[in-house]
């Protein structure tokens, strides 16, 4: 193995690239991890290890410092050099400007890990900067136009528990991307067209002919759906009429279209009531339904034909892409027009992709859709790109998620096997939370208890969803999600209220405290460091749209706060120490509130 410390490239690097490698101005523009990543990678390039990632991570144990750089071993392997020697060469570069970095110590450990420990002075300085920053240290990213396709219920049915995943995960990522400075287009691609509407319209017509008040009948959509469905199954004459209504709707019949419009508007109002209940940021303005693309379906297929992408198979127009094959290794068909001339979902989705790519001109389109639609969406993106609907620099991605299960590990349904209505889930969450809040603090006024119950109940079901890895199935358990212990929304909301109570007992407002941070105790410094890592957590979410990263951070932060609070007296401390610790309390509360807010979850000042 060669000793790289005498290499001329390194000596040049000391005089050039690393003279001002670590400086306060640089670190203020990015989170700590990104800053260290950038500078360590710059050092590795100086040492001849081009394109070598620094692999900087938060230290897994306190004895390893605050961060670890693990990329030296990979770089050494490419260079066929000794990793510990390469690590030392890298540190020789960095040591020249150590006093500017706020790094107290670098340590080479094991086969070539570099442990990084920050100085208390640096932690205090950066914490003060974040405490005064309304963005809590989170910088704006280079703005991109990003469309988020989420929720997207079928308006022929009541929204059910299965819609919670797309709705909650999509909305949290919308909020985070907007906070990071991106232009976000909310797209609620509701299903409002097709054969399933025939029976609904036929039933509306039947009621109208009987002189019934249609607006009244549509107030309970679930009952309306059930009656129309039952008639379709048991009354052959009604079923024939339902099929006739499908044809009339698709041919533009004015009477039929009027009934359809009445039903769709009422169904959208029902959906919006659920969004309002769950504090979801979707509005009717975000709805662009399947029917919006009806006039573009035929032209879309013509464009595919012009590109030579369409083949006729068993009378249907299909697109075969080489990368999609079945068990027999034969290409799988993507049907874009059925043999009877009708258009399946693929045609509508291609028209939507063309609209999003060309008319809206988005930089990215993220489809928060059930993982079972993986093949469909993969084919969609491939065909749209081959047809020129999506440009090379536009990113269209499927963000899949798993299934919600009951305690027995099967899909969460009602006792009779039907899907659990999402509106009922929201209402039950509030009712259960109201009982818990009333038991915990019976002296609260009824108005306060109802408000807190809504915040806690809705927060609980959303957090239970967001705190899981989105790609896995999870069990829907009321007792767990509403618990005031463990990684739950009620636990975090209660942690926030406990901090608020500290200020109430002190008779102080956080904004009136201007003392500098004076952190000397280990628990103070550990909490402070975790607070500085908030930007890392937020920015990490959108690397793969995993909201559970932020949930885990907030839970960990709350635990660090409790350790600090138990070991470091706040109100009984001397004035300077008290005020410093109160500022630490305040920043902890703001971070908890802000992080929950990005997840679409509210807080209250007392419970």
Do 10 and 106 fall into the same domain?
yes
Give 359 or 196, the one with higher predicted confidence: 359
| pLDDT tens figures, 4-33 | 333 333 333 333 333 343 444 444 445 788
| pLDDT tens figures, 535-560 | 999 999 999 999 999 999 999 999 99
The pLDDT of residue 99 is 46
Question: For residue 237, is it within any domain?
Answer: yes
What is the average per-residue pLDDT within 84-88? 92
* Residue 249, domain extent: 197-282
How far is it, in rounded angstroms, from Cα 259 to Cα 147?
31
Is the separation of the CB atoms in 334 and 319 below 8 Å? yes
Question: For residue 207, is it within any domain?
Answer: yes
Do 25 and 112 fall into the same domain?
yes
Do 210 and 112 fall into the same domain?
no
Compute and round to an integer the Cα radius of gyration of the chain. 29
Of 282, 314, 341, the residue at which a domain comes to its end is 282
Residue in this structure with the two tokens 């000794």, named with its chain if needed: 82
How far is it, in rounded angstroms, from Cα 529 to Cα 521?
12
CATH of the domain at 49: 3.30.1360.70
The pLDDT of residue 415 is 60
What is the average per-residue pLDDT within 354-359? 98
How many structural domains is the chain composed of? 2
Question: For residue 89, is it within any domain?
Answer: yes
Residue in this structure with the two tokens 């509106």, named with its chain if needed: 423
Question: For residue 437, is it within any domain?
Answer: no
| pLDDT tens figures, 452-464 | 999 999 999 999 9
Of 95, 118, 141, the residue at which a domain comes to its end is 118
Of 258, 282, 306, the residue at which a domain comes to its end is 282
Is the pLDDT score of 118 beyond 50? yes
| pLDDT tens figures, 488-529 | 999 999 999 999 999 999 999 999 898 999 999 999 999 999
Is the pLDDT score of 403 beyond 70? yes
Question: For residue 568, is it within any domain?
Answer: no
Question: For residue 18, is it within any domain?
Answer: yes
Do 13 and 108 fall into the same domain?
yes
Question: For residue 291, is it within any domain?
Answer: no
What is the average per-residue pLDDT within 93-97? 70
Ordered alpha helix ranges (H), 328-445: 345-354, 374-387, 422-440
Ordered alpha helix ranges (H), 292-371: 297-306, 345-354
Q: Mean of the per-residue pLDDT values for the chain?
A: 90
Question: For residue 438, is it within any domain?
Answer: no
Is the separation of the CB atoms in 525 and 120 below 8 Å? yes
| pLDDT tens figures, 266-298 | 999 999 999 999 999 999 999 999 999 999 999
Is the pLDDT score of 395 beyond 80? yes
Q: Is the pTM of this model over 0.85?
A: yes
* Number of helices and strands in the chain (H, E): 24, 13
3-state SS track over 251-304 = CCCHHHHHHHHHHHHHHHHHHHHHHHHCCCCCCHHHECCHHHHHHHHHHHHHHH
Sequence-distant (6+) residues with CB within 8 A of 7 are 47, 48, 89
Is the separation of the CB atoms in 145 and 362 below 8 Å? yes
């Amino acid at each position: 193995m060669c000793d790289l410390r005498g290499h001329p490239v390194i000596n040049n690097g000391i005089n050039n690239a690393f003279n001002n490698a670590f400086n306060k101005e640089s670190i203020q523009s990015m989170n700590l991890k990104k800053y260290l990543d950038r500078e360590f990678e710059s050092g590795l390039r100086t040492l001849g290890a081009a394109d070598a990632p620094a692999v900087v991570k938060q230290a897994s144990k306190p004895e390893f410092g605050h961060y670890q750089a693990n990329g030296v071993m990979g770089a050494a392997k490419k260079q066929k050099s000794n990793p510990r020697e390469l690590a030392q060469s890298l540190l020789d570069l960095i040591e020249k400007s150590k006093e500017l970095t706020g790094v107290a110590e670098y340590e080479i450990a094991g086969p070539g890990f570099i442990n990084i420990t920050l100085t208390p002075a640096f932690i205090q300085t950066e914490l003060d900067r974040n405490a005064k920053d309304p963005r809590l240290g989170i910088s704006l990213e280079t703005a991109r136009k990003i469309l988020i396709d989420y929720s997207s219920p079928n308006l022929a049915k009541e929204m059910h528990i299965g819609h919670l995943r797309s709705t909650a995960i999509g909305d949290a990522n919308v909020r985070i991307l907007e906070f990071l400075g991106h232009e976000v287009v909310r797209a609620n691609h509701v299903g409002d067209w097709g054969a399933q509407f025939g029976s609904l319209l036929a039933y509306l017509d039947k009621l109208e002919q009987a002189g019934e008040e249609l607006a009244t009948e549509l107030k309970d959509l679930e009952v309306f759906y059930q009656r129309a469905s039952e008639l379709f199954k048991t009354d052959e004459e009604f079923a024939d009429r339902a099929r006739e209504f499908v044809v009339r709707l698709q041919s533009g019949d004015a009477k039929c279209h009027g009934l359809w419009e009445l039903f769709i508007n009422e169904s959208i109002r029902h959906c919006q009531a659920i969004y309002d209940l769950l504090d979801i940021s979707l509005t009717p303005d975000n709805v662009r339904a399947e029917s919006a693309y009806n006039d573009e379906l035929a032209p879309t297929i013509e464009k595919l034909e012009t590109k030579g992408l369409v083949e006729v198979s068993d009378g249907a127009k299909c697109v075969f892409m080489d990368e999609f094959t079945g068990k027999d290794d034969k290409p799988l068909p993507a049907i874009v027009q059925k043999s009877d001339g009708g258009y399946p979902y693929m045609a509508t989705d291609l028209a939507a992709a063309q609209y999003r790519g060309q008319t809206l001109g988005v930089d990215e389109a993220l489809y928060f859709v059930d993982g079972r639609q993986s093949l469909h969406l993969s084919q969609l993106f491939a065909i749209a790109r081959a047809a020129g609907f999506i440009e090379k620099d536009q990113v269209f991605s499927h963000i899949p998620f798993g299934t919600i299960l009951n305690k027995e590990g099967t899909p969460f349904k009602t006792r009779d096997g039907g899907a659990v209505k999402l509106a009922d889930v929201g209402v039950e969450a509030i009712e259960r939370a109201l009982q818990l809040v009333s038991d915990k603090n019976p002296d609260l006024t009824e108005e306060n208890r109802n408000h807190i119950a809504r915040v806690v109940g809705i927060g609980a079901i959303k957090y239970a969803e967001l705190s899981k890895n989105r790609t896995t199935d999870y069990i829907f358990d009321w007792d767990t999600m509403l618990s005031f212990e463990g990684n739950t929304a009620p636990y975090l909301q209660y942690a926030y209220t406990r901090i608020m109570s500290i200020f109430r007992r002190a008779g102080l407002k956080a904004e009136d405290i201007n003392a500098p941070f004076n952190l000397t105790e280990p628990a103070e410094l550990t909490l402070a460091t975790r607070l500085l890592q908030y930007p890392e957590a937020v920015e990490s979410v959108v690397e793969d749209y995993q909201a559970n990263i932020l949930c885990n951070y907030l839970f960990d932060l709350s635990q660090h706060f409790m350790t600090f609070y138990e070991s470091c007296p706040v109100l009984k401390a001397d004035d300077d120490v008290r005020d410093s610790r109160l500022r630490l309390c305040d920043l902890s509360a703001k971070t908890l509130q802000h992080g929950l807010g990005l997840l679409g979850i509210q807080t209250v000042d007392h419970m």
